[in-house]
């Protein structure tokens, strides 16, 4: 599959197929905060949360979105977590949604983080026990299924961008359609006017041609950087530096992009690990980029050459 991943992917929009799905997703639903609220419920109701977890796992892990024939050892590793904070009725919930995505590194047992994103604590959705999570990119069935579908396509976009230049384009375009469809639902989180972390913005950052270098950064960092580490470490580090400079160029076009911060949220610890033993001149290049683009992370570069 590794070689296939750098080829152009033809998108399958008939998402109901149940064979050779792409994702292996670990799901968690944490309802401990509900135990300390006045929204009491019978102990038997706790099975609702187990069934919610199972429904989300089935939604993500049983859905085929590409034409790739994916073997079990080739599936995309990801995680979805929901921390519930309110239960306003038997079927209505509020909480925090977080997404994690990993990618294998060539010729190693190492996996690198591509996406480690936590939404604001205002994810509202309905879930009725025993009802399937219906989904179509052009139809809004529920906020839960639309949000899950949206992030599945975002993850595919990031994943394929990391294997080929602009390889994720068709997936971001589908995420855009989902976002447009859901924006009229009345649920928060979809419209650009709502907040800096609205789902609209992450999709927009990856479909706006003005920020194309953001997507090149994923390719240079992962395919030409990490994947080359066992072959030529010096060249691999140079390519990672180039990836950071692509991010810097995007930052100069527009500061404080949501997706730029998401990049460093996923990569900063790894960057520190890669360049701690690197030559001083490389450390300096990395330091200067991060100081400009993500100054909150400068503290993590203690010991780097800064002169």
| Distance separating alpha carbons of residues 104 and 113, to the nearest angstrom | 9
CA quadruple 62, 65, 67, 69: dihedral, nearest 10: -30
Mean pLDDT calculated for residue range 221-240 = 98
Is the pLDDT score of 196 beyond 90?
no
Give the tens place of pLDDT for each residue, 19-29: 458 999 999 99
Is the pLDDT score of 279 beyond 70?
yes
Highest-scoring range by mean pLDDT, 13-27, 175-189, 190-204: 175-189
Percent of the chain, pLDDT > 90?
78
Least confident of 4-13, 104-113, 160-169: 4-13
Q: What does each C-alpha distance from 300 to 45, 200, 270, 271 come to in angstroms?
A: 44, 30, 11, 10
Q: Are 56 and 148 in contact (CB under 8 A)?
A: yes
Q: State residue 126 phi and psi, 5-degree precision.
A: -110, 145
Query: Which pLDDT score, from 0 to 100, does residue 70 have?
Result: 76
Give the tens place of pLDDT for each residue, 148-181: 999 999 999 999 999 999 999 999 999 999 999 9
Q: What does each C-alpha distance from 293 to 95, 198, 261, 288 come to in angstroms?
A: 30, 21, 9, 9
Q: How many CA atoms lie within 13 A of 190 on its CB side?
A: 23
Q: Are 182 and 146 in contact (CB under 8 A)?
A: yes
Query: Which pLDDT score, from 0 to 100, does residue 43 have?
Result: 57
Is the pLDDT score of 18 beyond 80?
no
State CA 259 to chain mean position distance: 10
Query: Which is it for strands 23-30 and 76-87: parallel, antiparallel or unpaired?
Result: parallel
Please, what is the average pLDDT of the chain? 90
Is the pLDDT score of 219 beyond 90?
yes
Mean pLDDT calculated for residue range 128-155 = 96
Is the pLDDT score of 44 beyond 70?
no
Query: Which is it for strands 92-104 and 76-87: parallel, antiparallel or unpaired?
Result: antiparallel
> Is residue 38 very low, low, confident or very high in pLDDT (cuts 50, 70, 90)?
low
> Is residue 35 very low, low, confident or very high in pLDDT (cuts 50, 70, 90)?
confident
Query: Which pLDDT score, from 0 to 100, does residue 45 have?
Result: 72
Least Cα distance to 190 among 262, 120, 126, 93 occurs for: 120
Is the pLDDT score of 83 beyond 80?
yes
> Is residue 120 very low, low, confident or very high in pLDDT (cuts 50, 70, 90)?
confident
Is the pLDDT score of 2 beyond 60?
no
Q: Residues with Cβ < 8 Å from 43, sequence gap 6 or more?
A: none
| Distance separating alpha carbons of residues 260 and 252, to the nearest angstrom | 11
> Is residue 199 very low, low, confident or very high in pLDDT (cuts 50, 70, 90)?
very high
Is the pLDDT score of 146 beyond 50?
yes
Mean pLDDT calculated for residue range 70-94 = 91
Percent of the chain, pLDDT > 70?
91
Calculate Rg over the CA atoms of the chain: 20
| Distance separating alpha carbons of residues 165 and 5, to the nearest angstrom | 11
> Is residue 94 very low, low, confident or very high in pLDDT (cuts 50, 70, 90)?
very high
Query: Which pLDDT score, from 0 to 100, does residue 33 have?
Result: 86
Query: Which pLDDT score, from 0 to 100, does residue 20 have?
Result: 59
> Is residue 305 very low, low, confident or very high in pLDDT (cuts 50, 70, 90)?
confident
């Amino acid at each position: 599959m590794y070689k296939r991943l750098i080829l152009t992917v033809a998108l399958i929009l008939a998402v109901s197929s149940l064979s050779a799905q792409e994702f292996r997703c670990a799901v968690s639903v944490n309802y401990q905060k509900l135990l300390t609220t006045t929204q009491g419920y019978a102990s038997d109701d706790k099975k609702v949360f187990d069934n919610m977890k199972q429904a989300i796992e089935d939604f993500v892990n049983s859905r085929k979105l590409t034409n790739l024939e994916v073997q079990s050892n080739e599936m995309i590793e990801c995680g979805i977590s929901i921390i519930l904070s309110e239960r306003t009725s038997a079927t209505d919930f509020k909480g925090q949604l977080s997404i994690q995505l990993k990618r294998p590194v060539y010729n190693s047992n190492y996996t690198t983080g591509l996406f480690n994103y936590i939404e604001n604590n205002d994810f509202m959705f309905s879930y009725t026990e025993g009802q399937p999570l219906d989904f179509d990119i052009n139809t809004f069935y529920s906020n839960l299924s639309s949000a899950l579908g949206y992030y599945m396509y975002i993850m595919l976009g990031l994943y394929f961008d990391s294997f080929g230049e602009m390889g994720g384009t068709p997936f971001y375009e589908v995420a855009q359609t989902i976002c447009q469809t859901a924006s009229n639902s009345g649920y928060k989180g979809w419209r650009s006017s709502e907040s800096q972390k609205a789902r609209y913005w992450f999709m927009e950052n990856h479909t706006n041609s003005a920020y194309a270098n953001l997507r090149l950064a994923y390719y240079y960092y992962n395919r030409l950087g990490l994947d080359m580490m066992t072959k030529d470490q010096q060249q691999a580090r140079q390519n990672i530096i180039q990836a950071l400079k692509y991010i810097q160029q995007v930052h100069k076009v527009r500061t404080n992009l949501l997706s730029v911060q998401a990049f460093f949220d996923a990569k900063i610890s790894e960057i520190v690990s890669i360049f701690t033993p690197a030559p001083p001149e490389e450390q300096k290049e990395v330091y200067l980029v991060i100081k400009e683009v993500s100054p909150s992370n400068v503290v993590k570069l203690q010991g780097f050459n800064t002169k």
